[in-house]
Structure 1
């Protein structure tokens, strides 16, 4: 199974000597590669069955998504694309603790609200575990937003081009190729064969390290957008001629993706073809992969990429044949993705702090003591919403908070709720710690739903404040939602760890 690059070069170039860019199929694709493929394909189809546990596509209100993303806080931005018409993706969390990715388009990107809604609903009908499924959208006024499953383990581009601890293993690269080919096959079978600008940034990894194709690329392009990035070196030749995306264009982009996986670099297809033609496969292969794959496997991946990059669209394979070609190449299929990705410790929860432990135990007395000791140190940066210095209204607001603090200190939680509510309703200032204290006061008064609402509001004001997450967990536990409480518990632990590392 060992591979040396010189052997791979000799193996590939013996067949590719006479290659030219427009006629790679004859050189790069041999017979005898279809043994047991149909049986293996059937087994894979069972594994990639449609997802059953996701909610139906729905329309979200802008207020719900503002709450979920802490008011579209910069702390929750996970990606930004485009300079003239930026599309920003935010991490969010719904009240039921489901993590979401919210893509917010520039106001002019989709001028036709009905077109946007119809397109989103069409993509939202797809449900497959090879996709990041579209859960809903928002189309209020000038707002155009898409809501999808959140994938916490970054993009393929990050793991392939910008890795920090270890390069992606060969077996995982093959798994990525197969899963994305299966995603394209599924979409094609559902009448959604067009995918816009398939690249390493469109592939993301879930909490178990499994690769998935982003649903955002399935949306037809908006008026101000482009189907491909401005880098013409990676654009299908027919798109340059016509400006239209076809199913064959998607296969061309899949070919560039295979080159990325093979090389660990974003190599322009024309340059890759030159390397193949000049018998310089060694320059095309990621040196980090030495010894991880056989000559035959390397040759087959080069051949498959070459077929996808045919100049004539009709000579490229379809998604079904891509899947059939990739199944026999899979290696270490019994090894879970987290291990191949080096994420085997990712699911291990960080040790909880005393506050986290108190929330897990529902020890309200301990939570109260810690909040008292903390005081208002986490109100740094709390916003003043209006300039009312030294006015009677401001003084009255401050007095309400002082009375609430005194009541909170002396365990008079009913009075604390009343005073903190007066402070909050005036709206002169916002304070995450006041919401936290009122949240605990609600818990002490056996009002867990109100406690949850306040804990969520504290996170809206301060998106990276760990105590807000911990209090959400306590409220969910009080509501009997033990499973849902695990998400904010883990989130609070991570945020607190990050906070401690900074300080």
Structure 2
């Protein structure tokens, strides 16, 4: 828990230990637990044992939730309504699958059907046939299987069941059902044929996302967060990042992976105090330092993704100098700040794969919005509802940089080619003499 693992994307096989650059959250600083709940770690630091929150108390009643599954949209009797009220969730419209059924639809979790692997475990593609469950249409599905030895566990699995079983929105990935059999924990989702935003922005095999598509993805993801924040009891997503934004065949963005989601503050409370969890580079600084979680923490993470859409670069990347040992990690928020004030400077950090085919007014407005969202002071960040409104005003702009002289007419040589002016500005921004940004992610889950 006390060592930081830098990973390349989600490839856990490439992990290597690096010094921990984040200040630990002390129990004495956050006052989030009493002395008897404190745990003294091997490094002598006192950390909080996870408190038994309202969400934790819900976990013991999972059997009640199970009685609400495999049913039509409306509950079968008043008892289900009563149970839902006690749990603080709506009617669960989920199906309970057996392990054998999921083995069958994924061809025994064949490697040929493997879609990806992350902190939760592996994800396989499958297909459910007509008649498998009443009301369940035949369709391709994504089956996520919990790795018992992985970073997440039953709590995160159950958070997915509770949150995605309760909420339905076109910008949240649809959870169809689950499997809870012995030690096995699996989730069954609708299949998202376009994969994640991360793959489209950072993988060499992906075609370039046009500017209009990037804007559409940003609007869809913003609407998903706005929906969660505007719920009767607000939900803080807590792990908003490019890899958790999935795309359907029409590039409609849907949020996935609710394992770290938390119910927002109630009444006069201004924040939720919790263990610091999330992903480096996306996590809001005040949350990392204090453990105080608010909806404005999600807004910060959204601002980081806006910067990724503009630049085509990850939230955190390694910089290698002329010396093999001269490496440092650059945060995208800090690195881009000097370039976001004007269109001409912004051009220097725009994703070269766009080749000037982006709206000048649109990118300038998105850059300004990203600055607001990543403000150091949470009170200066806009609400997600305001973000949605601002982004929707940018649709349809046709002032392409390549057509108004703000982009070089000569083709860019190479995928990551940088102009001489850009190299000089990078040098002035503190990346070091002769430093070159490497396309390797430095992001990792917070402990």
Which structure 2 residues correspond to residues 36-435 of structure 1 after superposition, within 5 A? 56-82=93-119, 87-96=121-130, 97-107=138-148, 116-117=157-158, 120-164=161-205, 166-190=207-231, 191-216=233-258, 219=261, 227-229=277-279, 232-243=280-291, 245-267=293-315, 268-276=332-340, 280-331=345-396
| Distance in 2, Cα, partners of 1:64 & 1:226 | 37
1:319-345 CA distance string (max 9 Å, x none): 111111011101289xxxxxxxxxxxx
| Distance in 1, Cα, partners of 2:152 & 2:219 | 33
Q: Tell me whether 181-190 or 103-112 shows the greater mean CA deviation.
A: 103-112
Deviation for aligned residue 1:111: 6.0
More strand by share: 2
Q: Summarize the Cα distance change of 1:301–1:318 in structure 2 as closer, same or farther, 3 Å threshold.
A: same
SS of equivalent to 2:144: strand
| Distance in 1, Cα, partners of 2:252 & 2:288 | 33
| Distance in 1, Cα, partners of 2:170 & 2:154 | 31
More helix by share: 1
The two structures, once aligned, show a CA RMSD in angstroms of 3.0
Deviation for aligned residue 1:244: 5.1
TM-score (norm 1): 0.49
Contact 1:130 1:212 in 2 (8 A): yes
Q: Summarize the Cα distance change of 1:133–1:332 in structure 2 as closer, same or farther, 3 Å threshold.
A: farther
Q: Summarize the Cα distance change of 1:119–1:199 in structure 2 as closer, same or farther, 3 Å threshold.
A: closer
Structure having the higher Rg? 1
Select the structure with the greater relative contact order (CA < 8 A; seq sep ≥ 6).
1
Contact 1:251 1:316 in 2 (8 A): yes
Q: Summarize the Cα distance change of 1:112–1:164 in structure 2 as closer, same or farther, 3 Å threshold.
A: closer
Structure 1: unaligned runs, 5 residues or longer = 1-51, 334-503
Structure 2: unaligned runs, 5 residues or longer = 1-72, 74-91, 131-137, 264-274, 316-331, 399-447
Q: Tell me whether 210-219 or 313-322 shows the greater mean CA deviation.
A: 210-219
Deviation for aligned residue 1:281: 2.0
Query: Size of the alignment, in residue pairs?
Result: 271
